Structure 1
Amino acid sequence: MQHRMKTHPLTEQQINHLLQRAQTGSLATLNADGTPYSTPIHFVYCDHAIFVHGLPKGKKLDNIAHDSRVGFSVCEMDKLLLTPHGKPCDTNTKYESVIISGTAKLVDDIEEKGNVLKKIVEKYTPHLVNNEIPTNMVKGTAVIRIDVTEMTGKYYG
């Protein structure tokens, strides 16, 4: 276990709060040749799962179809922590981060997809929350559910 995970772990409540407020995360999938592929994404966290949306075709979907194992991370940097004497090697960072391992799958159920897309609207464009999402848009949007198998969080500063 990393040293900071032993000395600076986030509580479950702090992890949940970070996942609710963070605007972007990074989704890591595996290419067919086993190399990693990481992409920044918008997301929502609910029911102990991460949900993302996007186009119904693309590399991350191809990768998930090949291997459902994924990684997901979120990090918020607050500020640099400088020493009074200005030693560059003693500079640190005040931050919070969450690292997740899980399995990903496409959500096929139209009702579940619609509910997830509403949660995404609530998070990113709350002023549009009362606007209806057309059924054809729900059907034409890929929604990925990442079921969390392991989740850790840490902080410093």
Structure 2
Amino acid sequence: MRKAHKRITDFALILDLLNRCPVGRLGTVGRDGWPNVKPLNFVWHEGRIYFHCALEGEKLDDIRHDDRACFEVDLPIAYVKGGPDNPCRAEYLYRSVILRGRAQLVEAEREKALALDCLMRKYQPEGGYGSYAPEKLAITGVVRLEVEEIVGKEELGKGELRERALAALAAGTPLPVVLE
């Protein structure tokens, strides 16, 4: 990372982002050599990213071609307005995480069920979703990203802006907020 002062070094902040962000973006390399990015629901569990998908399609075609993958999540915290005298002041304050690793389709029924249960707990924490019948597991794709590298980055502004952004995060204010 070029600007070391923007690196998130507290792993608890990285875990918070992975658990809090509802959408991540999977980056793969297609057979044609072009990168592909797909937004998707995901869950972080025991050092891995899991997501579900169809058993056929572009994501799996790419993973079967080249299992190297990148995954990104970000949390917009605040938008800082530019003004008539300084439009360049406009900026987003954020935290983000980029992971790199190897992706593969999960074959074991037990791991598939675990991953789907983790996904449901994340997106439907109140429960009520039942169990997974073997015939449903058989037609559901689950991909595991074995994480090899994690880098967190943040831009929280300076001085008063930083204090206001951190206060919004601590207060649980709906994000992003607008700062002037």
TM-score bucket (shorter structure): over 0.9
- 1:86–1:134: structure 2 CA closer, same or farther, 3 Å change rule? farther
1:86 Cα shift? 5.2
Q: Which residue number corresponds to residue 72 of structure 1?
A: 71
Q: Which residue number corresponds to residue 86 of structure 2?
A: 87
Gaps of 5+ in 2: 157-180
1:131 Cα shift? 1.4
Q: Which residue number corresponds to residue 26 of structure 1?
A: 25
2:48 touches 2:146 (CA, 8 Å); kept in 1?
A: yes
Identity rate of aligned residues, in percent? 32
Moved beyond 4 Å, runs of 4+: 83-86
Q: Structure 1 residue 40 and structure 2 residue 39: aligned?
A: yes
1:133 Cα shift? 2.1
Alignment of 1:4-153 (within 5 A): 6-10=4-8, 11-82=10-81, 87-129=86-128, 131-153=130-152
1:71 touches 1:102 (CA, 8 Å); kept in 2?
A: yes
Gaps of 5+ in 1: none
- 1:44–1:86: structure 2 CA closer, same or farther, 3 Å change rule? farther
RCO comparison, higher one (Cα < 8 Å, 6+): 1
Which stretch shows the higher mean deviation, 18-27 or 79-88? Answer: 79-88
Max Rg structure: 2
Which stretch shows the higher mean deviation, 53-62 or 120-129? Answer: 120-129
1:128 Cα shift? 3.1
Which secondary structure state, in structure 2, belongs to the residue aligned with residue 126 of structure 1?
coil
1:121 touches 1:129 (CA, 8 Å); kept in 2?
A: no
Alpha-carbon distance in 1 for matches of 2:14, 2:36: 24
TM-score by length of 2: 0.81
Alpha-carbon distance in 2 for matches of 1:54, 1:60: 8
Q: Which residue number corresponds to residue 2 of structure 2?
A: 2
TM-score by length of 1: 0.92
1:46 Cα shift? 1.1
Alpha-carbon distance in 2 for matches of 1:64, 1:130: 29
Alpha-carbon distance in 2 for matches of 1:93, 1:80: 5
**Which amino acid letter does the alignment assign opposite residue 124 of structure 1?**
Y
1:89 Cα shift? 1.3
Aligned residues: 155
